[in-house]
């Protein structure tokens, strides 16, 4: 059996740009220009996306969430943000 991709496999494949990567703190700080304390203050105010747990001791941000904030930081609110909703659901589950 050949290891070459067929035309159907290539056409049906999703482009890499469609994936939502997880980016870490230093990348977020570099892209936004915020200081670490300003970033966490904005998260607590609900004006920046919340991070997502990657493992027990690490977290990151969805690249698309950060990109939406960069596109319009003044009007960003976490209430309609999927990452904020994920955080609220997981925080509620821990309280019970």
Return per-residue pLDDT of the chain as tens, 96 residues.
Answer: 455 555 544 444 445 455 689 999 999 999 999 999 999 999 999 999 999 999 999 999 999 999 999 999 999 887 655 555 455 444 444 444
Task: Look at residue 40 in the predicted model and tell me its pLDDT.
Answer: 97
Task: Look at residue 78 in the predicted model and tell me its pLDDT.
Answer: 73
Q: How far is CA 10 from CA 2, 36, 58, in A?
A: 15, 42, 35
Task: Look at residue 22 in the predicted model and tell me its pLDDT.
Answer: 96
Residues forming beta bridges with residue 59, ordered by sequence position? 53
Task: Look at residue 90 in the predicted model and tell me its pLDDT.
Answer: 46
- Which residues have a Cβ under 8 Å from the Cβ of 85 and sit 6 or more positions away? none
């Amino acid at each position: 059996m050949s290891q070459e991709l067929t035309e159907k496999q290539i056409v049906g494949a999703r482009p890499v740009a469609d994936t939502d990567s997880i980016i870490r703190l230093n990348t977020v700080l570099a892209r936004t220009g915020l200081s670490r304390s300003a970033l966490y203050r904005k998260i607590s105010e609900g004006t920046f996306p919340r991070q997502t747990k990657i493992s027990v001791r690490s977290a990151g941000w969805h690249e698309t969430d950060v990109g939406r904030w960069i596109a319009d930081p003044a009007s960003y609110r976490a209430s309609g943000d999927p990452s904020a909703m994920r955080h609220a659901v997981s925080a509620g589950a821990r309280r019970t």
